Amino acid sequence: MDYYLSVATFAALNVILAIGLNLISGFCGQVSLGHAAFYGLGAYAAALASVAGVPFPLAILGGVLVAGVFGIVVGFAALRVREDFLAIVTMGVGFLFLGAVRKQPWLGAEMGIAKIPSPLDKWGYAALAIGAAVALVLLSLHVRRSWMGRAFGAVAQDEDAARTIGIDVAGYKIAAFFIGTAAAGLAGGIYAHMTQLIIPDTFNFIQSITILAMVVIGGIGSTYGVVAGAILLTLMPELFRFINDYKLLVYGALLLLVMRFSPGGLAGMIQRAFGVRLA
């Protein structure tokens, strides 16, 4: 039972991460290859706060805010660089985060942070993670239906045309980065308390690519598709253990195959097969 509970919890955390990235890349059209850094920022910030005696809900909130604020900073960087270069910048942010954490004794360096207080039991974390994932899915569906989602679409499709009809492109990009990275921070805070031990490698480039693969395989821009992608890619390494050793290879290959043969991912396949468009 414990095993299934922990798989479900990880699936929920991955849904939160993928939904956040989909907001940035799928809705607003901003590439990010460093999403794991914000997962890590949330985890480290919440862990440090808890170790320092901050109550659990506030520690989680702290993780959300730290990740979101750094997300805003990267959002500002996104305003200055061309689209293809943004991929490099966000990848760089990921490596910068890892490099910095690995060298800081107060962040535990390579050893990470251990003995993080854990106020909940396994059921508690599962409920928290699934509850948060459901809340994010609802938020994502709402964003899509709202004028924010429509404006994201305009920014993603043609920034200059969006500007000339009065859309504050910069404001929308920063909003997308804030919401998406704050969500990653939430996942990080929950993860840190659940495992009680965090190490830098959990938040590496492979993790970023894994999250991106969930979004692309599920169907970039489709909330339900991305949920399916996140759950699928959580289960795959559980069913086929060998994948764990070849994650970058397997996910990289899957990414390329999907982009080549079904750019809409699973959601796109469903649309073609059944004629229903997933939100």
Partner 1 sequence: MMLLAGERLSIAFGGVHAVEDVSLAVAEGELVGLIGPNGAGKTTLLRLLTGILAPDSGRVLFEGRDITRMPIHRRAQLGFALTHQIVRPFRDMTLAENVMMAAAGGVTARPWRALAKVDARGARERAMALLARLGIDDAADKLARNVPLGYLKRMQAARALALEPRLLLLDEPLAGLNAAEATRFADLIVELNAGGITILLVEHNLGEVTRIARRLLVLHNGSLLAEGEPRAVMARQDVRDAYLGEEAHA
Binding residues for partner 1 (CB under 8 A): 142-143, 145-148, 150-151, 153-154, 157-158, 160-172, 175
Q: How far is CA 248 from CA 28, 91, 106, 156, in A?
A: 26, 15, 30, 27
Q: What is the closest distance, in whole angstroms, from the C-beta atom of residue 129 to partner 1 in the complex?
A: 24
- Least Å distance, CB 165 to partner 1, is 4
Burial 7-33 (b: 16+ CB within 10 A, else e): ebbbbbbbbbbbbbbbbbbbbbbbbbb
Q: How far is the CB of 171 from partner 1 (least distance, A)?
A: 5
The amino acid sitting at 203 is F
Determine whether 127 is exposed, middle or buried from the number of CB atoms within 10 Å of its CB (0-12, 13-18, 19+): middle
Nearer to partner 1, 157 or 244 (CB): 157
For residue 233, give the nearest of 248, 263, 249, 211 by alpha carbon: 211
Task: Report how far residue 265's alpha carbon sits from residue 175's, in angstroms, rounded to the nearest whole number.
Answer: 25
| The amino acid at 64 | V
CA distances from 89 to 63, 92, 186, 238 (A): 22, 5, 23, 32
Query: For residue 136, what are its two tokens?
Result: 């994010």
Measured from the CB atom, is 174 or 199 closer to partner 1?
Answer: 174
29 vs 112 by CB, closer to partner 1: 29
Closest approach of partner 1 to the CB of residue 14, in Å: 25
Nearer Cβ to partner 1, position 118 or 271? 271
Minimum CB separation of residue 65 from partner 1 in Å reads 17
- For the chain, what is the largest distance between any 2 Cα atoms, rounded to a whole number of angstroms? 56
CB 163 to partner 1: min, Å:
4
Closest approach, Cβ 166 to partner 1, in A, equals 4
- CB nearer partner 1, residue 125 or residue 172: 172
Contact 174, 75 (CB under 8 A): yes
- Nearer to partner 1 (CB atom), residue 37 or residue 215: 215
Amino acid at the residue 78: A
Q: Decide whether 10 or 178 has the Cβ nearer to partner 1.
A: 178
Residue closer to partner 1 by CB (options 110, 168) is 168
Residue 213: CB minimum distance to partner 1, A = 23
Alpha carbon separation from 90 to 35, 74, 237 (Å, rounded): 8, 8, 26
